[in-house]
Amino acid sequence: MSINQLGVIGLGTMGANVARNAARNGAKVAVYNRTTKVMTDFMKEFESEGNFAGCESYEDMMKALHGPRAFLIMVKAGPAVDAVIADLLPHLQKGDVIIDAGNSHYPDTDRRVAELKDKGIRFLGMGVSGGEVGALEGPSMMPGGDKSAWEDCKDLLSKMAADDGQGGKCVAYIGDGGSGHFVKMVHNGIEYGIMQLLAETYDVLKHVAGYTNEQLAETFSHWNEGEDLQSFLIEITAKIFEKKDDLTSGDLIDSLDDAAGQKGTGKWTTISALHYGVAIPTINAAVDARIMSGSKQLRKKHASNAVRVDLEEPIPKPEQMRTIARSALHLSTLTAYAQGFELMKVASDEHKWNLDIPECARIWLGGCIIRSVLLKQFDDLFAESQWGGEKQVNIRKFLELANARGIATPSTSAAMNYYDSLRRESLPQSLVQAQRDFFGAHTYKRTDKEGTFHADWE
């Protein structure tokens, strides 16, 4: 039973563009917004693009859609989603599908799937990535929840999704319960990590190597042509350095405040990693960096703190500096992906979601914010061919140059520390074992015998 009738609830930028995307791909789309004027304005502007029905109430929406149908919710995550579901429920028929396509927290999606199943309503929690352009032209979509609902919506969602560049579409059934929103959450965590790594690269090139915005634009544009860094985020970063400020005679980047906002998905990723016992330091450092950027009063208080640096070592020539920075960005970006995939794997094992990690990487190849050529090699992120040569020397050199000049590189440093922790046969937490046993009799394990032990340290 293929569903080709869709009710879209919430006509903000993303909701409006998803509705237009569905209509362009042959669906009948009934649109509703709590503020009626938003709906009427939408109809005036886009009615000619497809088979739309403007609705002032849920009753109108039910009259507009007949036969197999799905209702796609595009409102702010949290209580607003529950409120829409509660208002919508009295009008639904058994077998109807609700799709929550916002950035809901995956435990909420778990709960909604179970609650609605008891009422005969099928529920999908679907992560959507691609921003406003992707929502219209083809996003990456990560649906999880009721599998029969996916089967019925599969044709429409596949038409709406981005191409993966390999003959497929950037949408796939993720798994039971809240798995779709979990994968989208991790996607956003990786996004935080990569964006911070790009910011640190920019900082070092500008304040160590003295690059101008023009040189930065050319550098990132050049990197976007390579097989090691080509990605959406590199592409837009190059364009950012080219943008002139309409209000001044300078470049827009130089007039922007440095406090970066966040909507919570990065924090949720960090909390989830702590819960599942997975180390994601590159991502965690990026979340901390955004928090630090917004800690204006604290930073102002310490702005005059003394900095002692060693500037005896000469700065590499511009071309050499670009090579060093490229290596650092490449290798550290690999760790952001690797940490996200490991978190997905461990959570999948705990919840028995049976996540297909290669498939998750594939559907991120197009449409989404973290699309990159690096996703094609997701299963070999720590290959000797990448980490065993000059690139590893370069990332260490990058960190030395930054640290010697007092420039913070939290995510790049975390990435290097992550790799160094992975490769060590023995870590110094043997001392932590001893300390815990010393003051708390927590016991310890040995390398030469099985079992647990306790020592009289005094």
String of b and e for 137-166 (b: at least 16 CB within 10 Å)? Answer: ebbbbbbbbbeebbebbbebbebbbbebee
> How would you classify residue 33: left for phi > 0, otherwise alpha for psi between -120 and 50, otherwise beta?
beta
Decide: helix, strand or coil at residue 368: coil
User: Does 312 participate in catalysis according to the annotation?
Assistant: no
Report DSSP state, residue 375: G
Contact 278, 342 (CB under 8 A): yes
| Cα–Cα distance, 133 to 110 (Å, whole number) | 29
Contacts of 342 (CB under 8 A, 6+ apart): 278, 280
Count of all residues that appear for the chain in the document: 458
Query: How far, CA to CA in Å, does 284 sit from each of 135, 190, 292, 336?
Result: 28, 10, 12, 10
| Cα–Cα distance, 234 to 227 (Å, whole number) | 12
| Cα–Cα distance, 80 to 187 (Å, whole number) | 23
Decide: helix, strand or coil at residue 372: strand
User: Does 184 participate in catalysis according to the annotation?
Assistant: yes
Which residue in 184, 200, 391, 397 is the catalytic one?
184
Which residue in 28, 191, 200, 397 is the catalytic one?
191
> How would you classify residue 398: left for phi > 0, otherwise alpha for psi between -120 and 50, otherwise beta?
alpha
Q: Tell the residue number behind the tokens 């403007």, with chain if given.
A: 54
CB count within 10 Å of CB 75 equals 21
Instruction: Give the ranges where 208-280 is alpha helix by DSSP (H).
Output: 213-223, 232-242, 265-276
Among candidates 87, 117, 84, 86, which has minimal Cα distance to 100? 84
Contact 121, 88 (CB under 8 A): no
The residues assigned a catalytic role are 184, 191
